[in-house]
Structure 1
Amino acid sequence: MITVSGLSKTYGAFTAVDHVDFTCRPGRVTGFLGPNGAGKTTTMRVMVGLTPATSGSVTIGGHRFADLPNPGRLVGVLLDASAQHAGRTGREVLAISAATMGLPSSRVDEMLEVVGLNATEAKRRVRNYSLGMRQRLGIANALLGDPSVLILDEPANGLDPAGIRWMRDLLSSYAARGGTVLLSSHLLHEVEQVADDMLLIDQGRIVAGGDKATLLASTHTGALVTSTDNAALAAALAEAGLAVAPSGTGLSVDAEPLQVGTVAARHQIVLSDLRPDGGGLESLFMSLTSEGQRDVLQGDPVLAGASPEGAHR
């Protein structure tokens, strides 16, 4: 379990993380979302001791990361896939990590197979890896110690569609075995598919959090429906007291999809499409982070001359 309590991080007058509180539970994937500069990476860096907190605390399994005697055996971390020794081979990178954690060399082969790096690729220098291959190697490193917690910042960056699906299946199976996953990503559709819980952060503050179903249910505004006879369906819906309007090739209805489907079934009208109107993670994200959508703002620590560390938030 990850517990974040009253966490803040400031760079001079700039507040990158502002009194953040949340918990990531075992057996669940928590999606950590927000626009560029919202505070995601800074929060994750504080979690694993790379950035000191200004105030507040983070515990993993009840302990501070710095107090863990062999942290790689409890926490698997991937914050920057490019931050791997470019002159070493993929196998060497994992072998050094395995030796550091006191793991047998056989674990290296196991992880290379898990992440889909073959024998030829394992012998190549990391400088010759594509971004997707570096991501796979970084994930192998994070999983090497068989940790109970994973902290991953943009792990799908650079992966092709097959790789993204592989990542989704990997994280789902990991959580199903009781693991705790904190996943930061800009790929909202992928997070929506894999996450059990979600946290939205904007300008250093958590603006929404909770289980996915509850959060997304609050964004639905009606239903979109298309049938083999839209005119008959519109009449039936209006007769049932539901507001109906044309929308593209179908109808927009001010009602839950279940209500629309029930009316259609009663009148024996065949539906070719029925789904919530609006809603979804993208709608929630945009509605809660609209003021924070930017790549760089005046007052950003990079522009203000603060530590470059502030650029990786």
Structure 2
Amino acid sequence: MIEVKNLSKRYGDFVAVDDVSFTCKPGRVTGFLGPNGAGKSTTMRIIAGLTPAGSGSATINGASYHDIPNPSTHIGVLLDASAQHAGRTGAETLRLSAMTMGLPTSRVDDALAMVSLTPEESGRRVRNYSLGMRQRLGIANALLGNPSVLMLDEPANGLDPAGIHWMRTLLRGYADRGGAVLLSSHLLSEIEIIADDLIVIGNGRIVAEGTKEELLAGTGALVRSADDNRLAHAVAAAGIAVHPADGGGIRAEATPEVIGRIALDAQVALTELRGGDGARLEEMFLQLTEQNQREQPQGA
């Protein structure tokens, strides 16, 4: 289990992580989401003992990374698949890790088999690996010590659709056997499929967290009408937050009954009005992090 409590980190005047707290539980895949620069990587580096915290704590099964004897047998970490010695073979990379951890060399073959790297592939120099093969090697390294916790940053980078399906199956099986997985990815569709819990960070602070079902169930109303612009202005004028909805229409942070009355008063004919259930992860993510997005629509 990973526990982060009141974690903060400053770089001069810049606050990278601001009083962040969350838990990544055994038996569950926790998706860690946020725009570029939101604080995800800094938080993960602090958990992995690579960056000191300014204040607060990050523990793995109750202990900080530096206080765990042979930590790679407790938490497997992949933060940058490209940060591997290009002159070694894949097998040599894992054998060196096994020696460092005091593991039998048989674990190398087991790890290579888990990530579907063949003997021929594991005998190549890492400089000749594709990004997808480096990802597989990095995941093998993370799994080598048979840890109870996995922390992976963008593990699907460079994987083709079959590779992404493989990774999803691997991580799901790992969690189902009782492991805790903290997974950061920009592939929101994959997070939506595999994650049990979601943590959304923006500007260094947690903006939402909970089970996937809780967060995607949403609140408020989804409404489509004969004049969405006019209805959106009427809803906003009533002091209710309103957002564009995928496929047209709007999502409003009020009950369908309230939105129905506003539409009636504005004399806007409705074509659809229902509770805001079934929101997609991408839509929820963009709404929660809209103040942190680099890319804004024209005229925004």
The alignment's TM-score, normalised by the length of structure 1, stands at: 0.77
- Note if 1:201 corresponds to 2:201: yes
RMSD between aligned residues? 2.1
| Cα displacement (A) at 1:6 | 0.7
Kindly state the Cα deviation for residue 279 of structure 1 after the two structures are TM-superposed: 1.7
The equivalent residue for 1:69 is: 69
Tell me by how many angstroms 1:72 deviates: 0.8
Q: Distance in 1 between matches of 2:90 and 2:9?
A: 34
Match of 1:19 in 2: 19
| 1:50 paired residue number | 50
1:183-235 per-position Cα deviation (integer Å, ceiling 9, x unaligned): 000000000000000000001000000000000001674499xxxxxxxxxxx
The 1-side partners of 2:199 and 2:114 are apart by 28
Superposition pairs of residues 73-112 of structure 1, within 5 angstroms: 73-112=73-112
3-state SS of the aligned residue for 1:286? Answer: helix
Q: Deviations over 1:105-124 (max 9, x none)?
A: 11111111110111111010
Deviation of residue 255 (structure 1)? 2.7
Aligned length in residues: 254
**Does residue 287 of the first structure (1) align with residue 287 of the second (2)?**
yes
- Find the aligned partners of 2:271 and 2:10 in 1 and give their Cα distance: 47
Distance 1:14 1:285 in 2: 24
Secondary structure at 1:42 match in 2: helix
Q: Distance in 2 between matches of 1:222 and 1:16?
A: 35
State the distance in 1 between where 2:195 and 2:216 align: 12
Cα distance in 2, alignment partners of residues 57 and 277 from structure 1? 35
Any stretches of 5+ residues in structure 1 without a counterpart?
225-240, 244-250, 257-275, 296-313
CA distance in 2, matches of 1:14, 1:20: 15
Q: Which moved more, 1:101-110 or 1:36-45?
A: 101-110
Judged with a 3 Å threshold, the aligned counterparts in structure 2 of structure 1 residues 189 and 220 are, in CA distance, closer, same or farther, namely farther
The whole-number CA distance in structure 2 between the counterparts of 1:109 and 1:277 is 46
User: How many Å separate the matches in 2 of 1:166 and 1:285?
Assistant: 25
Aligned to 1:130: 130
* Secondary structure of the structure 2 residue equivalent to 1:255: strand
Preserved CA contact (<8 Å) 2:219 2:277: no
Separation in structure 2 between the aligned mates of residue 110 and residue 278 of structure 1, nearest angstrom? 40
Which of 265, 274, 277 is the equivalent residue of 1:255? Answer: 274
Q: Distance in 2 between matches of 1:109 and 1:223?
A: 55
Amino acid at match of 1:148: S
Runs of 4 or more off by more than 3 Å in structure 1? 219-224
Partner of 2:10: 10
Given residue 83 of structure 2, which amino acid in structure 1 is its aligned partner? A
Alpha-carbon shift at residue 254 of structure 1 (Å): 1.4
For 2:271 and 2:284, how far apart are their aligned partners in 1?
Answer: 20
Q: Partners in 1 of 2:170 and 2:220 — Cα distance?
A: 30
| In 2: Cα distance, 1:142 partner to 1:104 partner | 16
One-letter amino acid of the structure 1 residue matched with residue 53 of structure 2: A
Q: Name 1:37's counterpart in structure 2.
A: 37
2: CA distance between counterparts of 1:19 and 1:194?
27
Q: In structure 1, how many angstroms separate the alpha carbons of the residues matched to 2:174 and 2:184?
A: 16
Q: Give the corresponding residue for 2:251.
A: none
User: Which residue identity does 2:140 align to in structure 1?
Assistant: A
1:166 is matched with which residue? 166
Give SS of 1:285's match.
helix
Q: Is the 8 A contact 1:107 1:144 kept in 2?
A: yes
Any unmatched runs of 5+ in structure 2?
A: 225-256, 261-269, 296-300
Query: Deviations along 1:102-145, whole A, 9 cap, x unmatched?
Result: 11111111111110111111010001100000000000000000
Q: Distance in 2 between matches of 1:82 and 1:220?
A: 43
The answer to whether the 8 A contact 1:29-1:197 is kept is yes
Task: State whether residues 131 and 159 of structure 2, in contact with CA within 8 Å, keep that contact through their aligned partners in structure 1.
Answer: yes
Is contact 2:152–2:184 with CA below 8 Å preserved after alignment? yes
Identity, % of aligned positions: 66
Q: In 1, distance between residues paired with 2:39 and 2:155? A: 17
Give the TM-score normalised by structure 2.
Answer: 0.81
Contact 2:75–2:150 (Cα < 8 Å) also in 1: yes
Structure 2 vs 1, CA of residues 220 and 149 (structure 1 numbering), >3 Å: closer, same or farther? farther
Alpha-carbon shift at residue 253 of structure 1 (Å): 2.8
In structure 2, the residue matched to 1:229 is none
CA distance in 2, matches of 1:14, 1:139: 32
In 1, distance between residues paired with 2:29 and 2:220?
A: 23
| Residue 278 of structure 1, CA deviation | 7.0
1:31–1:198 contact (8 Å) kept in structure 2: yes
Partner of 1:214: 214
